Amino acid sequence: MVIAAAGILTFLGWAIGKPPLILSLRGSAIMSPVAALGFALAGLALCCRTCGTVGRPAGRGLCASGLASLIVFLGAFKVADYLFGLRFHIDELFFARKLMPYSGTLPTALAPNSALALLLIGAGLLLFELQTSRGGIPSQMFFLVSGLIGIVALLGYTYGVAALYQWGQMPQMSMAGAAAAFVFSMGALAGRPERGLTTVLISRTTGGAVARRLLPMALIVPWVLGVLLLSGEQGGYFQWEFTVAIFAASSLVVFTILIWWNAELLHRADLEELRTTRRMAAQHQATGVLAESATLPQALPKVLEIIGEALECEVGAAWKLDAQLNAFRCIEIWRHPNGDAESFIQATRSTLLPRGTGLPGKTWAGARPIWLPDAGNEKDLPRAQAAAESGLHSAFSFPLWQGSALFGTMEFFSRRRIQAPEQGLLEMLANLGSQLGLFIKRTQAEEQLRHASANLQRSNTELQQFAYVASHDLFEPLRMISSYLQLLSQKYEPQLPGEAREFISLAVDGAKRMDALIRDLLAYSRVDAHGREFAPVDLEEAFRAATANLKVAIQETGASITHQPLPRVLADEVQMSQLFQNLIGNAIKFHGAESPRIEVGMQRREHDWLFHIKDNGIGIEPRYVERIFVIFQRLHTRQEYAGTGMGLAICKKIVERHGGRIWVESAPGRGSTFFFSLPVLDEQGVAS
Ligand code: ADP
């Protein structure tokens, strides 16, 4: 905008006959009207290209391209004019007569360097949006060269070297024109700094910081030094040799300081990066330890060591909140292998810290991380003296959360005095704190689960032993009751009244029932306790044995049983035939009006076999499909169907012992289909 305004002003100056509203300094030429027009157009075109980046209307782009083409046209004609001697008289388009009085001593026609700068600026503006496939921005190159032409001419004016602003005998570039070319080019480069060459300059990287510091210095320092020394020499204050020596010495000092300053910056950035990498590696390692460890006592020493070493600490400690004492107690401590902080470690081990006391107590009270630049100087800390004696200074502590409840804290002490914590470090610790919290929660849940499952296992075994012993020991008295009842009825039957005979027969019946119940209970408890080792079993054999045992029932009911060829599996053979016998037996027993039709089949799935036994019996109400697998659960009276209610419970136990599942699909009057799965095991008993 400034360039456009300056151009317009100069042009107006020419128009009203007072040319140079732009001053001519130290014998500089006056900016020609064509150059003024060119810069005015360039300023406007750049505004169209860059102002209001969001939703730039297409019309503006078109207008910018039009203006840029005009500038290219002006520059190109004049350059061609100089190169090939073609006389287009572009300069004389405006104010040709006014031009004459000034062209005597100070030629004001468009200079070749101004024309070239305009041509480049025009081309740059025309190709402003163009980006090559490799990401290059050609317009930036054009602006760089036009800026260079401007700055070289300006240098020429400052040092009084005419060759830099006047090429040969041709008209010279005005100082205002040179400044306009330079300022405009820099402005155009900054117009869209996020692309191409300027990306580095505005980036937040170390490279960007170095470029922002060094570039202005590289421009200003030699220029100003040169001007000062040249004036000194021209004023006769010192000789030429002295000037050169001073220039060299000052450049040496200034650039050494500048380079040192930047080296320091790079050094600090590298150190920071190194620290960040180490921290990230430590965090990664700590995460690995937490994933691999099963318990907190296993994980804590390793985590303390990882953090302590990554942060170059001397001592690290983990504190746990003791609910009974309502105070923190140190549960784990780490020390640097070469460290010597014995008195502090002793103090840490033997101190209990209530809420608000000591570093852990303060962390507890504030529920957030705490950083102390010098723990030895904190008079209200119980371990301050011990820390000072052990040469420990910086300390920090962060809470370990177990959900929303505080579990404990971790603290670290270093020999260095670090004034303030870095953001990255705090983030890492907060992250670790929550990871540890999750780990503690997980291990506690696992511990509870282990405990519960051990309890369950124990009570299960005890129950089985009880069932086995009880049922086993009940046989003897039961046998006695049955035999004496039989003896009673045999010996005294003729003397006994009818009612007594009936009572005795009821008692015998009860004893028989009890015998059946005890047998089934014993069979149930034996499934686990006395099961055989798994061996390859031909299920065809097991099926045959089962149907042989059911021969009478099959004949009595006229049952038909069909079956698909059954596979060989790794199992307990006796239990397999018991399983088939119970399921087929039930299918026969619970038949409906028609004689039983039973189908036995199977299918191989990815990891197991799925067997089914389908009947056309009375069916089961869906709400009972779970209950029938529980011991002694029956859906009918003994008068309707004989049985103890143990058959399916035994089936379930057998299938589960083999790693499978059993269930039923049925509806009243529609028959039932019992399914059970058996995993496919290899010869070693490993599931495939
Ligand atoms: P029990 O056969 O001694 O009664 P089970 O444990 O074998 O005991 O069966 C439990 C109950 O499940 C049976 O009382 C019966 O009501 C039901 N049931 C089992 N198998 C079938 C079947 N194939 N069809 C219909 N009901 C069945």
pLDDT in tens, 376-428: 888 788 898 899 888 999 998 988 888 788 889 999 999 888 777 777 777 77
DSSP string, 99-163: HHHHTTTS--SPPHHHHHHHHHHHHHHHTTT---TTS--HHHHHHHHHHHHHHHHHHHHHHT-GG
Q: Is the CB of 636 under 6 A from ligand 1?
A: yes
pLDDT reported for residue 215 = 85
Atom 23 of ligand 1, nearest CA residue: 587
Of all residues in the chain, the percent with pLDDT exceeding 70 is 90
Q: Is the CB of 664 under 6 A from ligand 1?
A: no
97 versus 77: the higher-pLDDT residue is 77
Question: For 239-246, what is the mean pLDDT?
Answer: 82
191 versus 14: the higher-pLDDT residue is 191
Q: What is the pTM of this model?
A: 0.48
Mutating to test ligand 1, I would choose from 561, 628, 670 the residue with most ligand atoms within 8 A of its C-beta, which is 628
Distance from C-alpha of 33 to C-alpha of 23, rounded to nearest angstrom:
14
Question: For 46-64, what is the mean pLDDT?
Answer: 71
Question: For 271-288, what is the mean pLDDT?
Answer: 86
pLDDT reported for residue 88 = 62
Atom 18 of ligand 1, nearest CA residue: 586
Q: Is the CB of 590 under 6 A from ligand 1?
A: yes
pLDDT class of 17 with cuts at 50, 70, 90: low
Question: For 497-525, what is the mean pLDDT?
Answer: 86
Q: What pairs with residue 537 in β-bridges?
A: 569
State which ligand 1 atom lies nearest to the alpha carbon of 613: 23
568 versus 8: the higher-pLDDT residue is 568
Question: For 635-652, what is the mean pLDDT?
Answer: 91
Q: Note the pLDDT tens digit of each residue in 549-598.
A: 999 999 999 999 999 999 999 999 999 999 999 999 999 999 999 999 99
State which ligand 1 atom lies nearest to the alpha carbon of 674: 23
How big is the CA angle at 537 (ends 533 and 543), to the nearest 5 degrees?
120
Q: Is the CB of 648 under 6 A from ligand 1?
A: yes
The answer to whether residues 187 and 144 touch, using CB atoms and an 8 Å cutoff, is: no
pLDDT reported for residue 583 = 97
Mutating to test ligand 1, I would choose from 590, 623, 654, 675 the residue with most ligand atoms within 8 A of its C-beta, which is 590
CA of 641 to the centre of ligand 1 (A): 9
- Contacts (Cβ under 8 Å, ≥6 apart) of 589: 553, 641, 642, 643
Question: For 341-362, what is the mean pLDDT?
Answer: 90
Please, what sign has the CA dihedral across residues 232, 234, 237, 238? Answer: positive
pLDDT reported for residue 57 = 61
Atom 14 of ligand 1, nearest CA residue: 634
pLDDT class of 531 with cuts at 50, 70, 90: confident
Q: Note the pLDDT tens digit of each residue in 339-351.
A: 788 889 999 999 8
Q: Which two tokens stand for residue 296?
A: 């907190």
CA of 666 to the centre of ligand 1 (A): 12
Q: Which amino acid is at 476?
A: E
Q: Is the CB of 575 under 6 A from ligand 1?
A: no
Confidence check: pLDDT of 530 > 60: yes
CA of 630 to the centre of ligand 1 (A): 11
- The C-alpha R_g of the chain, in whole angstroms, comes to 50
Angstrom CA distances, 404 to 172, 283, 348, 407, 615, stand at 79, 23, 26, 9, 57
> Which one, of 7, 52, 57, lies nearest residue 33 by Cα?
7
pLDDT class of 660 with cuts at 50, 70, 90: very high
pLDDT reported for residue 91 = 65
User: Would you call 569 helix, strand, or coil by DSSP?
Assistant: strand
Q: Is the CB of 592 under 6 A from ligand 1?
A: no
Mutating to test ligand 1, I would choose from 519, 524, 634, 666 the residue with most ligand atoms within 8 A of its C-beta, which is 634
State which ligand 1 atom lies nearest to the alpha carbon of 617: 24
pLDDT reported for residue 675 = 97
pLDDT reported for residue 519 = 86
CA of 634 to the centre of ligand 1 (A): 6
Total residue count of the chain as it appears in this document: 688
Mutating to test ligand 1, I would choose from 648, 651, 663, 670 the residue with most ligand atoms within 8 A of its C-beta, which is 648
User: Would you call 630 helix, strand, or coil by DSSP?
Assistant: coil
